[in-house]
């Protein structure tokens, strides 16, 4: 969860789902033997173009969260190799400005547009099968945002 100085959260519209009106927070995989905090900063830079010197990690939910794909998506996403994900969530404070964001920083880009939203809006913006995770993340970081 990336928050700015106003306590708003970064969400991006996935480039591979332009027709849907679903927005998500940056997320990504962890390379073998990669430290989780290092993975957070790397993935954030890849998906948003935000340099790690503009970000401070200020929180972590230690208990991993899991979700399963709906049956109609199993076998269609992630090369058919996975039925869901396990995620460890971090809270990061963004000390930059919008001109520091570059959605084309990585090839291929993850997001086609972004916006800043109030934390309580997050569960209404994400695809339905991730709502429970987003509610838990919002509650877990509420006091730090």
Q: What is the pLDDT of residue 76?
A: 60
Tell me the pairing of strands 2-3 and 84-94.
Answer: parallel
Q: What is the pLDDT of residue 77?
A: 58
If one compares 86 and 58, the residue with the highest pLDDT of the two is: 58
Q: What is the pLDDT of residue 19?
A: 66
- Number of domains comprising the chain: 1
Q: What is the pLDDT of residue 141?
A: 98
Task: Extract the tokens encoding 64.
Answer: 């991993």
Q: What is the pLDDT of residue 68?
A: 84
Residue written as tokens 């930059």? 96
Q: Mind listing the pLDDT tens digit for each residue in 74-121?
A: 666 555 666 778 899 999 999 999 999 999 999 999 999 999 999 999
Closest C-alpha among 44, 42, 50, 48 to residue 112: 48
Q: What are phi and psi of 6, to 5 degrees?
A: -90, 0
Q: Mind listing the pLDDT tens digit for each residue in 17-48?
A: 766 789 999 999 999 999 999 999 999 999 99
DSSP-assigned letters across all residues of the chain = -EE-TTS-EEEEEEGGGTTS--EE-------TT--HHHHHHHHHHHHH---GGGEEEEEEEEEEEEEE--TTTTTTSGGG--SEEEEEEEEEEE-S-GGG--TTSSSS-SEEEEEEE-GGGHHHHS-GGGHHHHHHHHHHHTTT-
CB 126, CB 21: distance < 8 Å? no
18: domain CATH number? 3.90.79.10
Query: What integer is the mean pLDDT of 42-62?
Result: 97
State the residue range of the domain holding 51: 2-141
pLDDT over 90 at 16, yes or no: no
pLDDT over 80 at 53, yes or no: yes
């Amino acid at each position: 969860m990336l928050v700015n100085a106003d306590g708003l959260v970064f969400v991006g519209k996935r480039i591979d789902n332009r027709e849907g009106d679903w927005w998500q927070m940056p997320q990504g995989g962890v390379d073998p033997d990669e430290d989780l905090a290092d993975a957070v900063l790397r993935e954030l830079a890849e998906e948003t173009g935000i340099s790690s010197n503009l970000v401070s990690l200020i929180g972590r939910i230690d208990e991993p969260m899991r979700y399963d794909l709906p049956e109609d998506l199993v076998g269609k996403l992630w090369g058919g190799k996975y039925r869901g994900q396990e995620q460890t969530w971090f809270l990061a404070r963004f000390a930059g400005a919008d001109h520091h964001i570059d959605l084309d920083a990585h090839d291929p880009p993850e997001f086609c547009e972004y916006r800043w939203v109030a934390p309580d809006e997050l569960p209404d913006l994400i695809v339905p099968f991730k709502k429970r995770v987003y509610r838990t993340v919002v509650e877990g970081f509420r006091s730090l945002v």
